[in-house]
Each structure stands twice: as C-alpha cells, then as structure tokens.
Structure 1
Amino acid sequence: MMLITRQGGLALGLLFALAIVLLIGAACGGGGDEPGADQNIEDGEPTGDEADIEAAVQAAADAWNASDVEGYLVHFTDNWILMEFEATREGAAGELAEFVGSPPLAPGELTGIQVSGKTATADANEFTFGALVAPKRMSFIKEAAGWLVDHEEDLPAAIPDGVAAVELTLFEYSFEFDSDAITDSNFAFDVSSIGAEQHELVLIRVPEDLDIQAAILSTEQPAGIEDVGVAGPWNPGTDSTVVFAAPLGPGRYAMLCFIEDANGVPHAVLGMVNEFTIE
C-alpha cells in the first residue's frame, strides 16, 4: 500500500489496512456433531459443535498472531471475504500479508453459543484487538471444512466502573473531545458519530517531535510509530465506546480516520486528525 491509499505501502497507510481487520475479529473451523436440533450453551463447558466453534476461533486467533495468512483465512467464508475486502480470497491474502499479526488479537471466552443445524451464532464479549476491547457477535456456517465465520457485528464495550468516560464526537472531518478530561490513563471514550459519513478511530503512539500531518502525506515510513488499535467504522448516528484492555502508557497519541470520502480521499488527509498526551 502507499502511505495513505489502498494501493500503497508502509507507515500510516498500514494503519488504514488495520481498520479493515477490526471487522475480522475471530473465526472458526473444525468438525462437530451432526446437524440436528437447536443447541444453546449458557453454562458449563461447551461440547460438540460448541466446543468445535470455540476451538476454531482460538485457532484463527493463533494463526493471526503467528502472521499465518492462509491459516487465518481458512476460517472464513468466501462471502465474508468478499464483503470485507471486496476481493477474492487470493486478493484478500495479498492485503493481509502486509499487516497480519499486528496488533495481536485475543478472542477470550465465547458466550451465548447457539447452534441451529448448519448455522450458529456466538458473542465474544472479551475480544481484544491490540490495546482495545472489541466485543463482537459472530455468525457461522458449517461447511465441509468445518465452522466458518460468515458475518460479524461489532458490539459496544461497557465502560467499567471507576473509568472516566471522555466524550468523543466524530464528524466531517474532525475528532472533537476535551483533552483536559484526560487527566491520566484511566479513561475510555464515549463515542458519537454525528456526521453524514462513516468514520473510524485509528489510534497510534507517536514520537514527541513527529509532524503528524507531514507524516500522513509522506511516502516514507516515520520511525517510532506504535500501533495501539482501531475502532469502528461507525455509521452516521451511531453511539459506541472505545475501551482499553489496560491503561495506556505514557506518551503522545494520535487519532486518525482513514475512511475515504466519495472522491477516494482518506479523511485524515482532509484534516480528521487529533491527539492527546498521557504524562
């Protein structure tokens, strides 16, 4: 990938690619029971199809964290790949090869697993992607290769008691929040997307002396950039949250949106950039 476009190569452009994988979440494979009556696991250890789904979700996460593109994509349907990448399986593999494995993901324990014949749903309320808590509701289809993820829905993460909620408003083309409300690392964002376009939050830690706008437009990779996580995309009128799995460390953090406008220009190029510092 180029720095800022879908065709480019490194640095902040890589983070645009990460926005795609926030939707990836987890997936599945494996065998299981013969399709039959509906099954619903609420308590106790999962068995049969439920156990296969949990094991395959973990296997997909392990493949991601090992930067194994083929081992990761094998857990997704062609339909899912087409929806998320607008590409064939081969094309998706080419995109994933540029960023697979970063940030790391952990699906946590699945809850509310429901199996009906060759379809299933499950919630991953403990799912983390990088430093962000990113709960998901996943839908699966059982094919010859096993249970495959066919659809995902992002769920809002609950802001824990004792964590300061900082209001964050997204619109064309700005992140608006009170930086004075971030007094330490014990905070989360309460998000409102009020514009007319989709928006996302790409969060990175950057060097103190980095010119962020110049870096966005540069064709060379800035040194010292650390991926934190990606949240969204959020449709207009959406309320959500950004919750951190652990308090952020000290440093300067940049917020960017790489969703493209109708002319194919990433919102960050149009000024959708902000920052905060944790002492």
Structure 2
Amino acid sequence: MRSLVASYNAKDVDGFLGKLTDKVVQEQYGVPREQATASVAKSIGEPSIEIRRLSNTHVSGTTATIDFEHTSGKVVVVEQVSMAKEGDQWKIDGFKNQPVEIPGGTTTIGVEATEFAFKLDGDVKDGDIALAVHNVGQQEHELVLARIADGVPLENLVMAIAQAGNQAANAPEAVQEIVAFGGYKPGESGNIVFAKPLDPGRYGLFCFFPDVNDPEQTPHALKGMYAEFSVSG
C-alpha cells in the first residue's frame, strides 16, 4: 500500500498501474489496462493521499485483505483493500468503502437529505465537526460542500457552482473551495470526517444530482436543496 500511495502522490502513472491487477484497472477506470494511461494521468495525485493507518491484515494463500485508513484531500476515508499475488508481487485487486467512525470529542452535525432540502441538526461552535448524513428521501442525493464569501446570497451561487462542475478553479470569486461527497441512495447513511478542523468562514451545502422525475433533469439545488452554516474564528 505504501508504494502504491507513493506512486499516486508522485503522479507516477506507470508505477501506479503496475501495482494494480487488470481487474481493478477495469473496475476503477472502465477500460482495459492498455487504454487506462490517459484516464489515470488526468486524476492521479489530486487530491494527495496520506496514510493514517494500515490494520487488520488477513492473508490466505495468494489473496489478502487489509484495512486502509487515509486522508484524501480534506476528508478521512476507510477502505478494505483486496490484494492478489501475481508471481512474486502483491497487487491491489479491489477497494470496498468502510464506515468512518466519528472521533470522540468531535461535534457531530446531522444532515438529513430529502426532496429537495437539507436539514441540519446540531450547533457548529468551531471547525472540529463531522457530518452524519442520512438520506430520508426517495431519490439519490449528494453533498457538495463549498466555502463561500460573506455577504453573498446562497441562492445566487447555486447556478455558478453547478456551471463550475464542482471545481473551485472554475467557480466565481465568492466560492473559495469545493469538495464533493459521493451519492447516498434512499435510506443510506454515512459519516463525513474531516482530516483537520474546518477553517473559520461560511460554508454552503448543495446537491446537484438531477431530479429523475423531472423531464428537464433539473439539479436538486436549483429546486432549493442547499443550506449553510458558519465556523467562527
């Protein structure tokens, strides 16, 4: 795992691909190994990964699993990594996301997602928070967190962030950074644990998934699915 992470952070495409089985290359990038170089080159190294803990290693013949806790950009991620031995080399053969526990002492903010709103439960006193997300709606929802400037109405930024493709570099000046967190199917829950406390400032939550019942496939945020909170300095 350490050599895989080193190759990833160094943007060493060949070294990174050389540590993956053909199966996981196909699963992760949707193309065979010989066609994957361009796709890997676009995404490798961003955001950087920092190993926090490797644990629960289990080896059975030519297969193994290991729990891989790491930071990916601003958040903590836990995955169970499957490995397969090819010749004398162990290669990564699969990734399975695992629940992330909220550390003791961290303030938990509940985020209830439905059509078409976020409901926040909890008091944000400082940046040492985690988000406990629960989708109580009938459609799949995502959570996009954006740090935004003071004094700008949140609704004025919804279209601009959508047009930026969730990329802060393409967003208006009032949007300082954007982090998107995967999809939550109806009834699903998950914790978002940050690698370090959030900086003081104003934050917006958005869902840009399309309304599947709308012929225009209008993003949920344009139907009012956004909320905000502030972290005091």
**TM (normalized to structure 1)?**
0.65
Provide Cα deviations, 1:114-159, integer angstroms capped at 9, x if missing partner. Answer: 11111111112x3111121111111112224832222222222222
What's the counterpart of residue 64 of structure 1? 8
- For structure 1, which runs of at least 5 residues remain unmatched after alignment? 1-56
Unaligned segments of structure 2, at least 5 residues: none
Q: Separation in 2 of the partners of 1:70 and 1:265?
A: 40
1:274 counterpart = 2:227: yes
| Counterpart residue number, 2:128 | 186
Root-mean-square deviation (Å) = 3.1
Pick aligned residue for 2:163 from 198, 218, 227: 218
- How many angstroms does 1:257 deviate by? 3.9
Cα distance change, pair 133–253 in 1 and its aligned pair in 2 (3 A): same
Offset of 1:223 from its aligned partner? 5.3
Query: 1:227 Cα shift?
Result: 4.9
User: Residue in 1 aligned with 2:137?
Assistant: 195
Structure 2 CA distance for aligned equivalents of residues 74 and 265 of structure 1: 41
2:102 aligned partner: 159
Kindly tell me: are residues 201 and 249 of structure 1, through their superposed partners in 2, closer, same or farther at Cα, counting changes over 3 Å?
same
Evaluate the alpha carbon distance shift between residue 169 and residue 257 of structure 1 in structure 2; reply closer, same or farther with a 3 A threshold. same
In the other structure, the counterpart of 2:20 is: 76
Contact 1:121 1:140 (8 Å CA) reproduced: yes
Structure-1 separation of matches of 2:26 and 2:210: 19
Q: What is residue 27 of structure 1 aligned with on the other side?
A: none
Matched, 1:135 2:72: no
The secondary structure found in structure 2 opposite 1:177 is strand
Q: Which has the higher contact order (CA 8 A, sep 6+)?
A: 1
Match of 1:168 among 73, 93, 111: 111
Residues 19-30 of structure 1 mapped to structure 2, 5 A cutoff:
none
Match of 1:247, SS state, is: coil
- Matches of 2:42 and 2:177 in 1, distance apart? 14
Structure 1 residue 261, shift from structure 2 partner: 6.0
The answer to whether the Cα contact below 8 Å between 2:149 and 2:176 also exists between their aligned partners in 1 is: no
Report what 2:184 is aligned to: 234
* 1:12 corresponds to: none
1:256-275 superposed matches below 5 A: 256-257=206-207, 259=209, 267-268=220-221, 272-275=225-228
Contact 2:161 2:171 in 1 (8 A): no
Q: Which amino acid aligns with 2:196?
A: A
Distance 1:145 1:207, change over 3 A: farther
Q: Match of 1:111, as an amino acid?
A: S
Q: Percent identity?
A: 33
The alignment covers a number of residue pairs equal to 221
Distance 1:119 1:259 in 2: 37
Deviating more after overlay: 110-119 vs 88-97 = 88-97
